[in-house]
Chain A
């Protein structure tokens, strides 16, 4: 039996395996490889057609250049803000679950409820801010503008829903962030084939929307209400390695996705007027561009505001410090989501909040989860009577479903592409998007392969991941206890504790470390080692920590607060004492600046102090300092004594600085010059370090920073103070001013030093010279001698010196013409002798610097040689594109390096708050509804506005109605636009540009064409994309996006016109001249239109000539033909249209919770009519009536007798007389047959009947036969045709493949040829 079953092996003749074998076989023979063929038969591979070669070359070049993007300066900050990951999808698709799983994957923490954005550390260099996007179109629009990555969840068991496509379209308009699709609910498929098919279908549809090859993730199923761990892990890895392209709008505007909101309004004001405008502070990572203080921002859904204050805070979710290791440890896996109540420690401007778990926090949460409890609670807390509720109630069939109205139940939607389905499980109404099958059978093979590949990839990934997981698991177990505590911490209430500044430092290891580095750099000479310092600091910190605890206990009594405050003051004083001691010894001019740093820096206090320490290197008495910091427990006593002393000092220094600021520069300069002489040495070192080469700028950054700081301290001139004043003073001044004005009655008159005297002076830009120098004197003249080319040059530019160097480089050469041999100087000798001389001169023997110098010289020489070599060989073929890129790169490096060495406080002043900082933004005059109806589920975005983007004007757009939108849009109907950061309602007017540049008003948007639109609204830069929706409230079954487009132009006036035809009637007609009346009302009007072209309805053209005296408004006109009295004359004119200045921001965030998606603005006329049942009053004349045509009666044709006579006979009317009755004599006689004849005729008729029948029968039969035959024939034909078709297909496929192969080989050949060239 077994033998019987066995099948003979059949060698494969086709497929990849066979191909491989054949190749191997041919290889063995030595003829198979293409390379070999090239060797064997080189002639076959030479250029055969120059034209073809040129074409392929062009093509490859085209392809190459097509890949180029216009290079932009890379402005991404060194420490970028967290990546905004928006999880979007229709309801019940698994968004929250995915977020929870992702958070768990990255941080090993389980968040129960997620409100607002959650920031987590996902890797060594990346943080993520994950936020969920609901189906409210407002939310979708807002989040699309800030998203870096979109995770698009799709319910595979259902297919695409309209929300998905709406979101995609929104993204397309506002810059396309990175997209990743995630298919969920894949476990509902029982049939594997069905699953595969669905996956493929969805993938291809997704690709058409995003880009071919876009990543689509499959989450196969749920385990205990979570996605499978491995899949989430893979997804997480994909997210954390993803790269992003900068989006124009995002990189050119600062923005903050707020993750915390606090109200700062004075409670008294709220008590007096609960509806008063509020002052709030919002927290979040700054993204995009630099944010300046006092700049304008827009909060989508709320309105425009001016930032009243910005400050940066320590990063609550900081990246781990740079360490050489592969993964994060448990401590570094941070979560920060204050809106969800997670995040451990929260920093404020002047306080630190720690979330402590209240003792009952846990129980409460558990209780609330139970639904029956909820019911009871709701019953207890009823405020209105039951019948009132009944009246306004709606039926909600299922939990979580939208309350159903009557219209939802009964309707049926018949649409070609969209379908509304009611989910059987949840009863939710879903908006299914249906599409025709696009996939062809042919594609299957290809895509299947791809699928396989992807799966393989994923498998590989999963293997990787599992390794990591094992490790992680071990960690996890050990940390579980800790975790639980943390979670408890997260849920708890907040308790405010005042913490001293030192603790802030303690919480921030990064900060302290960096300071240490500074010290290492600067205090190396002192011989004090860094570790010692660290220890000392730690000691300090410990003590202070204890102190803090004490303080927290004390805090419960109100008195202690005062104590703490006073303590802080004294502490700061203490620092000042230290500072001033050191300063007195070192310099005078630095006073104010340093103290300013102390005063203004908040948590960075330590830096200033330490910097000052390091500065006072030698003179610093360490013992004193240590005492100073150790003794803080008794600081109150000890300092109160010194308090007065310090105060006096402070006053002194203030006076000093003020005097300085007021005094002329010269004095300061003198002092500075004196000081600078001392520091010259240090500065020189700096310069040498700077000049060693641009590539080395990264070396010794810390040291450089320290040095730069010192240098800056010294040289930051009083010029800055002279111009800007000190920041602190300035602000104080302003606030005082405001207070004064508010005070009302009395106002402190304070002379405004600088500007007062000049207020009404002459406005001239010339810089006059007060006391000119005497240019005849020799020394004065010599002071600018080197400014001219005739003067002395710097070493690196002096021609003579350069020549010398060159000689050294190239050594000896022989002039071939003259035969003279030039000998190069032995460079080393000369150098040595030089240095020796120096040594003798300076009488200082320092072997190291000498060697270093030599080394440097050698390096320089090498560099120069390399540069020359590069110039000769590498950079010769640098294209324009390369140059441009290089330029941008240089600029980017400069941008990064310029302010690197400054501390954040000063840096913020120069460049504004840079992206990546965690900032606190104070905003005033916020509507109270924002605070009262605050819902953390809705994103709060602060979008920075550029210059004059806060103004309003006329904005011209290029607009196209979305092809999926059902209706066309009407001019003068309000429309909600999403443009820039904003969402607002406005009234656009549509127009089309005629060929002569005229903007002609359109009543409706064209169907499938772009048209222009102008509206009155916020000025937004040209090139910004926008989208329009008709309403943002509720859901409609249709596609909601009405139109999309781009801003073209901004202006303060418009030029849209509409056609106006004035009609008139002739009242007197001469030959070609007529008098027309009824067109105008006065002679003046006519005069305005003299010479205008007019026309009659029948098409006779003419011209207006001159007004007549009577009747008023009549005129004389000439025409090309004589008019009739019944003609109507008209003139075509253009009438400018005014645009309603209606701009209404969508204030959806001000709506009460639960109604945030129900904002409705101005209604269209149509809606109002519909609501109120007002019928349009129609002109009776323009109504259609049934056409009743009278039966037309024609007269008889009458031809005159004379004419009749003349006509030829043919045309003569033939008047035939009517026939009368035939006379009796003309009647035919009746035939009466004989019986025999009768018989014969009867028989004949019978026979003929039979015959007829037979013929008929035969005919029918024949017809049937024919039918049968045709059927058979057709079948045969069909089969034949099919066979032919298949044969053809085969042939063409083979041909096609051959063609493709040939092309490939030709391309390859050409590229190789290019290389050879």
Chain B
């Protein structure tokens, strides 16, 4: 019998997104137990529930079973369907939380995905929509996922705690991905960024820009930071400001850093100057880590390498984040794929810390959802 593939079992709510995404892509069912079993408020949180709902929306024929307390989740993946969708994200996590997973899934849909996500666009926890727009999309392009329809558009900005932002994400579908050889990050040629402010004084953005420039100018003259002040209906429901910076190299690598102000009514007020400086320093930190892919998108790059054709792909990364390390483990259990990991100490002195060269052979994944005529 073509019995269902072996069910994979996990415990705990951490890395829920990874697991669900990989389960969907590999077609293997999944069972997660002990989700916050020992906490006072057991079970899945609202943002996780919202994520599961989103998964249900983009797939067809998925079976999701959750027990009464919400501590156990069984997920049997269906086929990725896509199409034009809308989703209201939970305001307790930002849209980035949802978008990161959609970026992994979108190229393998039946119909090109065009989804409107509503919720918090920028917060302090997750990578913001601005960063994903600046870093993840160029990364997708490297794998042959490009075209006019690949876009992330911020219609409205929403800051925590209430949100009210709106983002449009569209992605074309591909049958197969190209392998990449991405081992030379190149030198940084320019720094760009956005300083945004909603429902606060528009001057805030300028103050942030000023302070960030003061630090970055020591390294590079080509710096331009856009100020983005949204007003009226497109400014969401809560006040706040923040900034994200990206450094682009001559080889098209994009490194990023971001910082946002404390949400209204939580923590002390942050000075925009301080925020700008800290953000610039974070960017330098990221430059120090280096690699061809910035730290938030490591897992996306590795996933797309895995899902490539049966060819060797290589990518040079900075130090692996804990999230990526767990992701690698998951890749092994879902796709039986192991990466060859070589640490590389740069030969020259002034190019930052140690790098990791990741090499793998793709599994020969092909988009099973796409229709042929």
> Interface of A with B (CB < 8 Å)?
73, 75, 252, 289-290, 292-296, 298, 303-304, 306, 665, 669, 672-673, 676, 715-717, 719-720, 722-724, 755, 758-767, 769, 772-773, 775, 781-794, 891, 894-895, 898-899, 909-912, 946-953, 982, 1017-1019, 1021-1023, 1048-1053, 1143, 1145
Residues of chain B lying within 8 A (CB to CB) of residue A793: 187
Q: How far is the CA of A758 from the CA of B329 in the complex (A)?
A: 14
Given A719-B320, A767-B296, A775-B215, does the pair A895, B312 have CB atoms closer than 8 Å?
Answer: yes
Verify B26–A947 contact, CB threshold 8 A. yes
Residues of chain B lying within 8 A (CB to CB) of residue A720: 341
Verify A785–B219 contact, CB threshold 8 A. yes
Residues of chain A lying within 8 A (CB to CB) of residue B356: 719
- Give 5 A-B pairs besides A787-B352, A948-B77, A1145-B1 with Cβ atoms closer than 8 angstroms: A292-B336, A717-B341, A763-B16, A787-B351, A1022-B370
Verify B371–A294 contact, CB threshold 8 A. no
Given A763-B16, A1052-B78, does the pair A772, B188 have CB atoms closer than 8 Å?
Answer: no
B11, B28, B328, B350, most chain A CB atoms within 10 A: B350
Q: Report the nearest B residue to A761, measured CB to CB.
A: B14
List B329-373 residues whose CB lies under 8 Å from chain A. 329, 332, 335-343, 345, 348-352, 354, 356, 359-361, 363-366, 368-373
Verify B361–A769 contact, CB threshold 8 A. no
- B64 on the interface (CB 8 Å rule)? no
Residues of chain B lying within 8 A (CB to CB) of residue A676: 345
Q: Would you give 23 A-B contacts (Cβ < 8 Å), ordered by A?
A: A73-B309, A252-B310, A719-B356, A723-B325, A724-B328, A755-B14, A758-B14, A760-B35, A760-B39, A765-B127, A769-B285, A781-B218, A781-B219, A786-B350, A786-B351, A787-B188, A787-B352, A790-B220, A910-B361, A1018-B2, A1019-B368, A1050-B79, A1052-B61
Verify B290–A764 contact, CB threshold 8 A. no
Q: Report the nearest B residue to A1022, measured CB to CB.
A: B372
Q: How far is the CA of A207 from the CA of B232 in the complex (A)?
A: 76
Q: How far is the CA of A1021 from the CA of B368 in the complex (A)?
A: 6
Q: How far is the CA of A758 from the CA of B290 in the complex (A)?
A: 26
Tell me, rounded to whole Å, the shortest Cβ–Cβ distance linking A937 to chain B: 25
- B74 on the interface (CB 8 Å rule)? no
Residues of chain A lying within 8 A (CB to CB) of residue B363: 292, 946-947
Verify B342–A717 contact, CB threshold 8 A. yes
For B279-297 the 0/1 string (1 means CB < 8 A from A) is: 0011011011110000110
Q: How far is the CA of A788 from the CA of B220 in the complex (A)?
A: 7
Option from A719, A760, A895, A1049 in Cβ contact (under 8 Å) with B311:
A895
Residues of chain A lying within 8 A (CB to CB) of residue B298: 767
Q: Report the nearest A residue to B299, measured CB to CB.
A: A765
> Interface of B with A (CB < 8 Å)?
1-6, 11-17, 25-28, 34-36, 39, 60-61, 77-79, 97, 100, 110, 125-127, 179, 181, 187-189, 215, 218-221, 250, 281-282, 284-285, 287-290, 295-296, 298-299, 309-312, 314, 319-326, 328-329, 332, 335-343, 345, 348-352, 354, 356, 359-361, 363-366, 368-373
Given A296-B5, A775-B215, does the pair A791, B60 have CB atoms closer than 8 Å?
Answer: no
Residues of chain A lying within 8 A (CB to CB) of residue B295: 766-767
Verify B341–A788 contact, CB threshold 8 A. no
Residues of chain A lying within 8 A (CB to CB) of residue B352: 783-784, 787
Tell me, rounded to whole Å, the shortest Cβ–Cβ distance linking A249 to chain B: 12
Residues of chain A lying within 8 A (CB to CB) of residue B27: 947-951, 1019
Verify A723–B341 contact, CB threshold 8 A. yes
Q: How far is the CA of A791 from the CA of B110 in the complex (A)?
A: 47
Q: How far is the CA of A894 from the CA of B1 in the complex (A)?
A: 39
Residues of chain B lying within 8 A (CB to CB) of residue A782: 350
Option from B12, B100, B373 in Cβ contact (under 8 Å) with A755:
B12
Residues of chain A lying within 8 A (CB to CB) of residue B314: 898
Residues of chain A lying within 8 A (CB to CB) of residue B290: 787
Q: How far is the CA of A665 from the CA of B319 in the complex (A)?
A: 10
Verify B188–A765 contact, CB threshold 8 A. no
Given A787-B351, A790-B219, A948-B26, does the pair A1143, B2 have CB atoms closer than 8 Å?
Answer: yes
Verify A791–B323 contact, CB threshold 8 A. no
Verify B39–A715 contact, CB threshold 8 A. no
A-B pairs, top 5 by smallest CB distance, nearest first, are A1052-B61, A948-B27, A759-B12, A767-B321, A767-B295
Residues of chain A lying within 8 A (CB to CB) of residue B220: 788-790
Given A760-B14, A1051-B79, does the pair A765, B323 have CB atoms closer than 8 Å?
Answer: yes
Q: How far is the CA of A950 from the CA of B11 in the complex (A)?
A: 25
Q: How far is the CA of A788 from the CA of B189 in the complex (A)?
A: 6
Q: How far is the CA of A720 from the CA of B325 in the complex (A)?
A: 10
Q: How far is the CA of A895 from the CA of B179 in the complex (A)?
A: 11
Verify A760–B36 contact, CB threshold 8 A. yes
Q: How far is the CA of A765 from the CA of B60 in the complex (A)?
A: 27
Verify B188–A789 contact, CB threshold 8 A. yes
Residues of chain A lying within 8 A (CB to CB) of residue B13: 759-760, 763
Q: Report the nearest A residue to B5, measured CB to CB.
A: A950
Tell me, rounded to whole Å, the shortest Cβ–Cβ distance linking A313 to chain B: 20
Option from B25, B310, B348, B368 in Cβ contact (under 8 Å) with A786:
B348
Option from B61, B218, B250, B322 in Cβ contact (under 8 Å) with A953:
B61
Residues of chain B lying within 8 A (CB to CB) of residue A724: 328-329, 332, 338
Q: How far is the CA of A74 from the CA of B263 in the complex (A)?
A: 55
Given A784-B351, A1145-B1, does the pair A766, B14 have CB atoms closer than 8 Å?
Answer: no
Q: How far is the CA of A1048 from the CA of B125 in the complex (A)?
A: 43
Residues of chain B lying within 8 A (CB to CB) of residue A769: 282, 285
Q: How far is the CA of A786 from the CA of B219 in the complex (A)?
A: 9
Q: How far is the CA of A1228 from the CA of B370 in the complex (A)?
A: 106
Residues of chain B lying within 8 A (CB to CB) of residue A1143: 1-2
Residues of chain A lying within 8 A (CB to CB) of residue B11: 755, 759
Residues of chain B lying within 8 A (CB to CB) of residue A1049: 371-372
Verify B350–A1048 contact, CB threshold 8 A. no
Q: How far is the CA of A764 from the CA of B218 in the complex (A)?
A: 32
Residues of chain A lying within 8 A (CB to CB) of residue B312: 891, 894-895, 898-899
Verify A773–B368 contact, CB threshold 8 A. no
Residues of chain B lying within 8 A (CB to CB) of residue A716: 341-342
Verify A1048–B296 contact, CB threshold 8 A. no
Verify B343–A73 contact, CB threshold 8 A. no
Verify B336–A294 contact, CB threshold 8 A. yes
Q: How far is the CA of A1033 from the CA of B366 in the complex (A)?
A: 35
Given A791-B350, A951-B2, does the pair A290, B361 have CB atoms closer than 8 Å?
Answer: yes
Verify A719–B361 contact, CB threshold 8 A. no
Q: Report the nearest B residue to A790, measured CB to CB.
A: B220
Q: How far is the CA of A665 from the CA of B321 in the complex (A)?
A: 12
Given A304-B3, A950-B27, A1048-B373, does the pair A764, B323 have CB atoms closer than 8 Å?
Answer: yes
Tell me, rounded to whole Å, the shortest Cβ–Cβ distance linking B364 to chain A: 6
Q: How far is the CA of A772 from the CA of B299 in the complex (A)?
A: 23
Tell me, rounded to whole Å, the shortest Cβ–Cβ distance linking B166 to chain A: 22
Q: How far is the CA of A756 from the CA of B334 in the complex (A)?
A: 20
Q: How far is the CA of A759 from the CA of B372 in the complex (A)?
A: 42
Verify B310–A953 contact, CB threshold 8 A. no
Residues of chain A lying within 8 A (CB to CB) of residue B16: 763
Given A767-B295, A773-B285, does the pair A759, B366 have CB atoms closer than 8 Å?
Answer: no
Verify B3–A765 contact, CB threshold 8 A. no
Residues of chain B lying within 8 A (CB to CB) of residue A947: 25-27, 335, 363, 365, 368
Residues of chain B lying within 8 A (CB to CB) of residue A772: 281-282, 285
Residues of chain B lying within 8 A (CB to CB) of residue A1019: 27, 368
Residues of chain A lying within 8 A (CB to CB) of residue B15: 763
Residues of chain A lying within 8 A (CB to CB) of residue B348: 786, 792, 794
Verify B361–A784 contact, CB threshold 8 A. no
Residues of chain A lying within 8 A (CB to CB) of residue B281: 772, 775
Q: How far is the CA of A782 from the CA of B352 in the complex (A)?
A: 9
Q: How far is the CA of A1118 from the CA of B6 in the complex (A)?
A: 60
Verify B335–A789 contact, CB threshold 8 A. no
Verify B336–A75 contact, CB threshold 8 A. no
Given A723-B328, A765-B323, A1048-B372, does the pair A783, B311 have CB atoms closer than 8 Å?
Answer: no
Residues of chain A lying within 8 A (CB to CB) of residue B12: 755, 758-761
Q: How far is the CA of A566 from the CA of B37 in the complex (A)?
A: 48
Residues of chain B lying within 8 A (CB to CB) of residue A715: 342-343
